[in-house]
Each structure stands twice: as C-alpha cells, then as structure tokens.
Amino acid sequence: MVTLGFGAAVAIAPGIPGQQLPTPPTEHELLETIESLRPELEEARRLAEAATARRRTERLAELAARPERPSEWVQAGPIWIVTPPGTAELAAEVFADVWREDFAALTGSPALDNAVFAFQWAWARPDPLVVDPASAAGRPIHRVELTRFWVGSRDGLRERVREAVWSTLKGDIAEGSPLARWLGASRYPSGERIARHVALSAAVPSRACLSGVLTGCEAILGLRGEAEYARLATARPPDAPAQLLLQALRLGGEGAWARLLAMQHASPLEALVWAAAVDTDILMASWRSELVDHRPTADAGLATTAGTTLLWALALALFALRSTRWRIA
C-alpha cells in the first residue's frame, strides 16, 4: 500500500492566523506523483479484477454443483419468457396483462421479437436463471428476477415487467438518431407523475398547455427545436416523451411502430405524426387530454383526519352511553 505525503503536503489551514501555509504542489510535482502512482494503480486494478474473476468462478461452480433447476418457456403476445415451472402460469398472466394493456397496438418490433425474458419472483433472492443457450439461440436475455420482499404485489410486478418491455423496445431505435436523443432516458411513463410535474411548473408553456394551447404542449415536450428543448429542460416532465410516443402508437394502430422506425432519422415530431397517422394538432390534443385525465386530485387531507377524529369520538360516545359504570350521571 502506498502512503502518500501528498495529501498532507497540500493541506491548507485557512483562517488560522499566523500559521505558515504549506506551498501548494507544482504541476511538475503533481505529474511526478501521478506517474509514481500509475504502476501501483495498474497493479491494484489487476488484483481487483483477478479477485472478481475468482469470485465469479467460485459462484458459478457453486451454482453448477446444485441440482439443475428445470425451466419452462411460455409466450405472451410476441414475448417469449423463460421461467421456473412454479411461476410459469404467473409469468404468462403478468406478461399477457402488460402486453394487452400497454403494448397491444405495437407490432413488428425486431428487438421484442428477438428477446427472451428470464422471469422469477421468489421469496428469497433468486439465483440467476440458467437459460440453455441452444434454446435461446443467441437471443439477448432480459432479466426480470425479483424478490417478493422488494416487489410485493402483482401491480409491482406489472410495473417492473412494463419497464423491462419498454427498455427492450427502445433497442429498436438507432442510438444517436434524433428520436433516440429526444427520448433520452425516458422510462415507462407514469401519467400521474407527469401531470403533477406539469401542474406544478411555473413555466409559461406548461400553463399554456394546461389551458389548451397546443403549441405550449409541444414546447414542454421539446418538439419545437433545440433552442426551446434546452430552455425548457426543467419544465419537461422526465418521461413525457415516452408517454407521447406510446400515445402516437395507440393512435397509429397496426404498423405504427414500423412507420416510426422508418422515420426515426427525421425530426421527432415528424416521426411521431407519421407513426400516429394523424395531424400534429390531433396528436397533441390527444396527449393533452391524457395529461388532463391524470391531473392529481386536490386533497387537503381534511376528510381523513376529521373523519378519523369523528369516528373515534362517536365510538367513545357510544361506550359512554351504554349502561356501564363508565356512564356519566
């Protein structure tokens, strides 16, 4: 282990009167320090990598020593899932629900057709499912392997599955294309979260969009050129592009995904309009109505608090009225 006097050499003690400040290191000294550390760093990296590889090998050997766990293949829409036998029915149900509710309008996705989802939902942290390479035929495996401790409900499961399918779908869009840049790191959208973000934003386009001005909606979605895109970055709800894209696909129906991919090198708005096969205004109005549908309900918390208080008071009053020694008078 190297012990460096370097840190101490530059330690400055501001604000202590009369104390001699150490001279800060020069560029030459810093370069010397860095170069002297380079072999040490390379050696430390090599040892850490070797240790990681050793642990991985031990883990694989440990897994291989266990009795082989059989797996089953099930299909939901175009999605292939591999799962332990006990969860095959659940996997088929959850993936089918997600497919039907969220992605049914979407057909012909090369990434999704080619993908395999390894699905597990267990009480203890599951070991990674070993997928037979011959069965997978070189297809990429997307893992949805969850513990009930962290994901306790079927709704939670659906959410994770939805996110996994959405990430896979995005694989169809060429990296660096205008559409990919516009989508950014959008996750599967939550209507409530987006509506709350827009409702709370003080930006003029957000207010305009809520009051029905569609160009305002275009602006906060980043569809009015790069200058607006950057200027309104903070007003833009993070996953709103994904919401608009899915809306366009729902409007476009059969073949919408293929149309979108064919236009992905055009501007995002052109690609979306082409995929949705409607006018820009109809597309934006449709997104806006979804936004408005998800507006949060204003709740001051009055009903719950006052209701609970009243219930308790009534219950106590009821006891007080009964013929017991607690009765008043």
Among 139, 143, 196, 207, contact with other proteins (rule: CB under 8 A): 196
Asked if residue 174 binds other proteins (CB under 8 A), the reply is: no
Asked if residue 226 binds other proteins (CB under 8 A), the reply is: yes
Among 124, 202, 211, 293, contact with other proteins (rule: CB under 8 A): 202
Contacting other proteins within 23-62 (CB under 8 A): 24-25, 27, 30-31, 33-34, 37-38, 40-41, 44-45, 47-48, 50-51, 55
Residue 268: CB minimum distance to other proteins, A: 14
The Cα–Cα gap between 88 and 102 comes to: 21
Helices 240-252 and 280-293: crossing angle in degrees, nearest 10, is 120
Among 20, 234, 293, 297, contact with other proteins (rule: CB under 8 A): 234
Instruction: Characterise 134 by phi-psi region: left (phi > 0), alpha (psi -120 to 50), beta (else).
Output: alpha
Instruction: Provide the residue type at 74 as one letter.
Output: V
Q: Which is nearer to other proteins, 32 or 101 (CB)?
A: 32
Answer yes or no: are the C-beta atoms of 121 and 157 closer than 8 Å: yes
Answer yes or no: are the C-beta atoms of 247 and 240 closer than 8 Å: no
Asked if residue 316 binds other proteins (CB under 8 A), the reply is: yes
**Site mask for other proteins (CB under 8 A), range 4-23, x = bound:** x-xx--xxx-xx--------
The Cα–Cα gap between 186 and 236 comes to: 11
Residue 306: CB minimum distance to other proteins, A: 7
Helix ranges (DSSP H) in the chain = 6-10, 27-65, 88-98, 110-114, 133-136, 154-170, 178-183, 191-200, 204-210, 214-220, 225-231, 240-252, 256-262, 268-276, 280-293, 302-321
Answer yes or no: are the C-beta atoms of 203 and 214 closer than 8 Å: no
How many residues make contact with other proteins (CB under 8 A)? 63
**Site mask for other proteins (CB under 8 A), range 133-172, x = bound:** ----------------------------------------
Contacts of 114 (CB under 8 A, 6+ apart): 139, 140
At 121, list the tokens. Answer: 């939902």
Q: Which is nearer to other proteins, 41 or 174 (CB)?
A: 41
Q: Which is nearer to other proteins, 38 or 69 (CB)?
A: 38
Residue 137: CB minimum distance to other proteins, A: 34
How many CA atoms does the CB half-sphere of 311 hold within 13 Å? 6
Q: Which residues bind other proteins (CB under 8 A)?
A: 1-2, 4, 6-7, 10-12, 14-15, 24-25, 27, 30-31, 33-34, 37-38, 40-41, 44-45, 47-48, 50-51, 55, 181, 196-197, 200-203, 226-227, 229-231, 233-235, 296, 300-302, 305-306, 309-310, 313-314, 316-317, 320-321, 324-329
